[in-house]
Amino acid sequence: MINISHKRNSLRYAKASGTLFTTEDVISKIRNGEIPKGDLLEIARAAGIQAAKKTSEWIVFCHSMPIDWVGISYEFTDESMTVIAEVEAVWKTGVEMEAVTAVMGTLMNAYDMLKPLDAQIKIGEITLVEKRGGKSDMRDTFDPPVKTSLISVDSDKKKGRQADRSASVILDSLRSKPVEVVSEHQLKEEEGQVRKMLVDLTDSRECELIFLCGSTGPAPKDVVPKVIREISDREVPGIAHAMHQYGLERTPFAMISDQVAGIRNGVLMVALPGSERGARESMDALFPGLLHIFKTLRRTR
């Protein structure tokens, strides 16, 4: 089973279909409610909904999930009945298998109710018609890639250890993103140094995105949030909220980190925790949604 604990919830949708082939007489009986075992359309619909909800019990590697909606509808020809299943959920993984399973559950129950009337019934053409949601729908492409700088801010005592590990996590995450890391810097926890570096980078516009890792705690020496707030033309509170929310779902210690994001001269500055775990979780929280902001910022540069 694949570990999806690092993923964020998003609206997921899938549509699947499948067809039952029988005689014209049987199709007429279905549509007119003349099947001896009962109302086939409603019974099969209920079975399909139940099948969608039990998908994880039947498909070994499927994750259980809170399904928000299952819809079953029908289309007819003279000798066929097509089942269309739609599923929605706000969750970490897609609902394709739930939609396909709903189709199969509907069709199998219809088959059971119809087999006394036609021994030659066939079921087929089961297919995934559409799916939406998740990272595949949120990826933005950029040409050229988003130019990015990374700044590690830490004390001499920790230099080469915690700061380097969190910086490595950030760099590893960026390798799969449409960004180009154009510079890396390591600074002491001194307000003047941090301010000068950020002002220089945002004035020169040699980069579009700056990540700062470390110095985001509650101690007086944790200067990064203060500097970003003071030099920003405007803050982007939704970015900080996304990181905090994601972190708090995993550890109560996330409330201690003062994560902030701001824009200066069209350059986005984002403060990340100095811990390896905090940096990794923040990157998981930010992408792929973060890059969408550059669709706007590039028009203003």
CATH value at residue 229: 3.40.980.10
Identify whether the C-beta of residue 166 lies closer than 8 Å to the C-beta of residue 278: yes
pLDDT band at 143 (very low <50, low <70, confident <90, very high): confident
177 in the same domain as 63: no
Mean pLDDT of 120-140: 85
User: Which pLDDT belongs to residue 5?
Assistant: 84
Number of structural domains the chain divides into = 2
Which of 75, 104, 134 is where one domain is finished?
134
Of 2-6, 56-60, 235-239, 290-294, the range with the lowest mean pLDDT is 2-6
Does 3 map to a domain?
A: no
Average pLDDT, the chain: 92
115 in the same domain as 226: no
CB within 8 Å of 156: residues ≥ 6 apart: 188
Nearest Cα to Cα of residue 177 among 142, 212, 134: 142
CATH value at residue 72: 3.30.70.640
Identify whether the C-beta of residue 9 lies closer than 8 Å to the C-beta of residue 79: no
Does 5 map to a domain?
A: no
User: Which pLDDT belongs to residue 268?
Assistant: 97
User: Which pLDDT belongs to residue 138?
Assistant: 60
Q: Looking at the predicted structure, is the pLDDT value of residue 163 above 60?
A: no
Which of 76, 106, 134 is where one domain is finished?
134
Paired tokens of 118: 């036609």
Does 187 map to a domain?
A: yes
Identify whether the C-beta of residue 267 lies closer than 8 Å to the C-beta of residue 207: yes
User: Which pLDDT belongs to residue 164?
Assistant: 63
Q: Give phi and psi for 188, each to the nearest 5.
A: -75, 165
> Residue 68 sits in which domain range?
10-134
pLDDT band at 162 (very low <50, low <70, confident <90, very high): low
196 in the same domain as 274: yes
151 in the same domain as 296: yes
What does the pLDDT look like over 227-268, one tens digit per residue? 999 999 999 999 999 999 999 999 998 888 899 999 999 999
Does 139 map to a domain?
A: no
**Secondary structure percentages of the chain, helix, strand, coil, to 5:** 40, 25, 35
167 in the same domain as 130: no
158 in the same domain as 64: no
pLDDT band at 182 (very low <50, low <70, confident <90, very high): very high
Mean pLDDT of 91-115: 97
Against a cut of 0.85, is the pTM above it? Answer: no
Does 227 map to a domain?
A: yes
Catalytic residue among 112, 140, 164, 284: 112
208 in the same domain as 153: yes
Identify whether the C-beta of residue 196 lies closer than 8 Å to the C-beta of residue 149: no
Is residue 112 part of the annotated active site? The answer reads: yes
pLDDT band at 288 (very low <50, low <70, confident <90, very high): confident
Which of 134, 162, 196 is where one domain is finished?
134
User: Which pLDDT belongs to residue 254?
Assistant: 87
275 in the same domain as 150: yes
User: Which pLDDT belongs to residue 66?
Assistant: 94
pLDDT band at 9 (very low <50, low <70, confident <90, very high): confident
Does 141 map to a domain?
A: no
pLDDT band at 18 (very low <50, low <70, confident <90, very high): very high
62 in the same domain as 40: yes
DSSP calls for 206-243: --SEEEEES--SSSTT--HHHHHHHH-SEE-HHHHHHH
User: Which pLDDT belongs to residue 149?
Assistant: 97
